[in-house]
Amino acid sequence: MKLYYQTHSPYARKVLVLAHELGIASSLEVIHHETSPTSPNATIYQANPLGKVPVLMLPDDSALFDSIVICEYLDDLSGGGKFIPASGPERYKALRLQALAQGMCDVGIKLRWEVERRPEALRYPAYADGQAYKLKEAYRFIEEHVDLNGPITVGHIALATALDWIAFRQLSDFSAQARLSEWYQTFCQRASMRATEYSGQTHD
């Protein structure tokens, strides 16, 4: 299988960290592709009409996207229920945390456009403030309501890769949330995280 990847994408990294945790990373041919909303990548658009990574190319040349679907596929491929519980409350806790982490990345990308990527004359500070507030509320919610202990799920992987991307891009400080910050620092020491560290810059 081929994984169309980007070394500075939190969505792509989530997939690769999961593959490492499942012990199947060696079965993936990881191919870096730069993507940008202002500079279409023909290879990625051929596989995914949204022009985004990650994309998992299967042996029959069919493509799976996005990261949520690919993670489900890899977990099933490895026997099922390993990082995505099959049913019950634990399944929905894992999926909710994954959704929250995914949303944090979405918000972070919007924030980065307003504070860094968009031409300065076109930036909208009030919109940037709104996105920054969403991140702070997400940190607070996790600190107060999410169980970060117990078996690791796809939700924990999504959260760790999201937080590390936010730190990589220097978008927002979550160190005031002591429990979350401690958990993040510990999770980043896992072999799967060390093997997939972020690198590179966005090319528009």
Domains located in the chain, CATH noted: 2-77 (3.40.30.10), 88-190 (1.20.1050.10)
β-strand partners of 29: 2
pLDDT score, position 203: 76
Per-residue model confidence as pLDDT tens digits over 87-116: 999 999 999 999 999 999 999 999 999 999
In whole numbers, what is the pLDDT of the chain averaged over residues? Answer: 97
pLDDT score, position 201: 87
pLDDT reading at 84 higher than 90: yes
pLDDT reading at 202 higher than 90: no
The answer, as to whether pTM is greater than 0.85, is yes
pLDDT score, position 180: 98
